[in-house]
Structures are given as C-alpha cells and as structure tokens.
Amino acid sequence: MPGPQDIPAPDGADDGEQLLQQVGRALRDLHPQASMAQIARAVGVSPTVLYRRYPTKDALLLALAAAFFDGLLQRAQEARALPAEQQLPYFLRTVGLHLATSRSVLPYAFREMSLPEQRHHIYAIITELLATAKAAGHVHPDTDVADIGAIVWAMRGIIDITGSLAPEAWERHLNIALAGLANPDLAFSRPPMDIDRLDAVISGKRPQS
C-alpha cells in the first residue's frame, strides 16, 4: 500500500510531481520538521530548486497532504469495485496502511491541510460504501460516516503511539472495530456526529453558526 511519497506519477508527470515524490521518500528518513535545506540536500537538489517549486515549508507540506488525500480517494474508488462484504473492510485496511506508511512524512496536524472538496468527496464515497454494506446486512444499520471517521482516528492514534515498536498493532484494533460494526446487537449510547461537526473535527475549524 503506497504512502503519498510512493504514489506513481501519471504519464506525463511534470518535474514538480517527481520532485514531490522524492521529497516524500526523503522525509521518511528525516522528519516532517526537517528544514528546507535538509530536505533539498537529502533529495539531491539545491535549496533554490526546492524553493522555486515550493516557496515555503508550509507550501511543501500542503502539497504532500494533497497527495495523501488523493491517495485516500483512490483507495475508496477501488473499494467500490469489490463485492459488498469486502468494500468497507478493504477501504479501512488500506487507509490504515496509508496512514502507517505516511507516519514519518506528514506532520500530526496534516488532516487540517485537506481541501474541502477532498473531504466531502471522501464522505460521499464512505456514505455509499456504508449503504452497500447495510443493504447486504454486513454492518449495523445505525452505523454512520462519523463512526468510520472515529475508527480512522483510532488507527492514526495507535500508529503514532506504537511507531516502529509494534507497527501492525492498528490491524488488530481494526479487526475488533469491524467485528463490532457487524454485530446486530450493537447498541449505541450516543447519536453520531452530524456531517458539519465531523468536518469541523477533521479540518480543525469550527462550523459556522
């Protein structure tokens, strides 16, 4: 499962796309807090070349985050082509792998860098995956998009806490979460977040009143 640094460039990809992939690979060995000069040195270009394409460190991280979320959208599109019982598990497992391979590349607050159109596209696809799973009886009928969001947050937390000491620990948690969603006797003690509140949590921005 590729992280943003491993997403293959499409045919005709320009030098900027190739440079971004090289930066992602370099940051895996460095750290998201590495300076532009350190990144340029690791990539094998002069700082001028890096600054010409990405004027600031924030601009560089925003580009990496955009590649990350584009990767999530690609995983979601792949899931739609699978049998009903495999769609949601495939999506969540590949998201977990995507998070794990990107842990050392993106800053912790990378979710705040997502574009609104990326987030809402992902919400729409998850809604579709849930509808398919519910119709087939594979998840509890009250499961909501926000519940899937919470599973993803939990995986991200486990990946960050365990790091290289237990890099597969998130997979066991996901097994438990998926078994819970499939339990017809599952009882929710609280209603789910609505989409506006979910988006506010993910984007780090308060919803407009």
What is the pLDDT at residue 1? 38
Give the least confident one: 6-15, 23-32, 64-73, 141-150. 6-15
CATH number of the structural domain spanning residue 75: 1.10.357
C-alpha span between 42 and 24 (Å, rounded) = 11
Question: In this predicted structure, what is the pLDDT of residue 177?
Answer: 96
Q: Burial code of 70-102, b = ≥16 C-beta within 10 A, e = fewer?
A: ebbeebbeebeeeeeeebbbbbbbbbbbbbbbb
Which of 69, 58, 64, 70 is closest to 16 using CA atoms? 64
What pLDDT does residue 67 have?
Answer: 81
Q: Indicate whether 77 and 17 sit together in one domain.
A: no
pLDDT of residue 4: 37
Q: Which of 122, 119, 79 is nearest to 203 (CA)?
A: 119
Statement to judge: residues 94 and 43 lie in one domain: no
The answer to whether residues 49 and 131 belong to one domain is no
Q: How far is CA 23 from CA 17, 42, 65, 131, in A?
A: 10, 8, 12, 38
User: Identity (one letter) of the amino acid at 100?
Assistant: A
| Segments forming the whole domain that contains residue 18 | 7-55
Separation between Cα atoms, residue 94 and residue 197, nearest integer Å = 25
CATH of the domain at 20: 1.10.10
Residue 71 within any structural domain of the chain: yes
How many domains, the chain?
Answer: 2
Give me the pLDDT at residue 206, please: 65
Contact 154, 106 (CB under 8 A): no
Please report, rounded to a whole number, the percentage of residues in the chain having pLDDT higher than 90: 48
pLDDT higher than 90, residue 127: yes
Per-residue pLDDT averaged across 47-52, rounded? 91
Asked if 89 and 71 sit in the same domain, the reply is yes
The answer on 69 and 16 residing in a single domain is: no
Q: Is residue 148 part of a domain?
A: yes
Residue 1 within a domain: no
- Based on the fold, state whether residues 25 and 68 are members of the same structural domain: no
Q: Which of 37, 185, 156 is nearest to 97 (CA)?
A: 156
Same domain, 81 and 117: yes
209 domain residue, yes or no: no
Q: How far apart are CA 21 and CA 64, in angstroms?
A: 9
What pLDDT, on a 0 to 100 scale, did the predictor assign at position 57? 87
Question: Residue 60: what residue type?
Answer: L
163 vs 108, residue with greater confidence:
163
Within-domain flag for 134: yes
10 CB contacts (<8 Å, ≥6 apart)? 17
pLDDT for 117 equals 86
Please state the pTM of the whole predicted model: 0.78
Across 14-28, 34-48, 62-76, least confident range: 14-28
